Each structure stands twice: as C-alpha cells, then as structure tokens.
Amino acid sequence: MEQHWAKKFADTRQPVFHNSNTVGRAARFYSGEEGDCFVSDINNAPVRGPVLELNSGDTFNCPEADPQTNGFTVLTPEEFQFYLVAQAALAHGLKESMRLGQSMKNTSPKNSILIIKAILASQVRALSSPSPAPAPPVEPPPEPT
C-alpha cells in the first residue's frame, strides 16, 4: 500500500500553502487509525481519518487521494523563504504604520488598528481580483508635527 501523501509531507517537513490562506511546514500526520487519531480541540473527539498538522498548529482533514483536492499547494524552499521574509517585512511595515498613527494628533490606537485592518482588507481584495487595477501613485506621508 502506498504511503499517504500527507505522511510524506510530514516526514519531509514539506512547506505548503492551504487554500484557507495558511502557510507552514507539514509537521505531523495522524492516520486516523486506532491509536493514531488527532483529537479535536473543539469536541475532544478523535478524528477517524487522516489529518495533517502544520508547524503552526493548524490541522486539516486529508481524506482525498491528492494534496490539491485537499486544498494544498506544495511550496518550494525558495517560495517558503519568500513567505517568511515577506511576512517579516509586512510586520515591520505595520509596526511603522502604527508609530506614524500614534505620532499624529487626534489618532487613537484603537482607530489606528481599525484603519490598518481596512487597508489590509483592501489590499487582499485588490490582490484577489481577476484583473487588478493599477495602483495609484503613493505620496509619502506628511512629517509628524
């Protein structure tokens, strides 16, 4: 019997993207057989089927015979490295944006967070559209007074 693809992923710590917008390295495979079941955090019941756990702790049922049908895309080491670097750059940019918001008069931390959430949602919508419109020119923010 051929080894389940998710077991191979876990054995090799394969970097993957899941269509739930989750990225990580495969960390553990649960076969769903007696003694090797993932126990759900939601209802404390064992899952009687294959489950793949990522290094982030996210878990996914994997009943289908191939990764794509289960919502997974295999990432190359370079693509995973890009994910890590881009995530760090975005975190740095968000931190700087919060600092900018805090330096401006009449800008509360709570509303700064709401504004940044709206900006991120707008960016996700733009990236997800079939034919993204060209980005408007970006002007540097005014110097804090």
Report the candidate in 95, 102, 94, 100 with the shortest Cα–Cα distance to residue 123: 94
pLDDT tens digits along 74-96:
999 999 999 999 999 999 998 99
Q: What is the pLDDT of residues 95-112, one digit of tens each?
A: 998 888 888 888 888 888
For the segment 46-57, the average pLDDT, to the nearest whole number, is 95
Could you write out the DSSP letters of every residue in 25-58? EEEEEE--STT--EEPTTT-PEE-S-EEEETTS-
Are 48 and 34 spatial neighbours (Cβ–Cβ below 8 Å)?
A: no
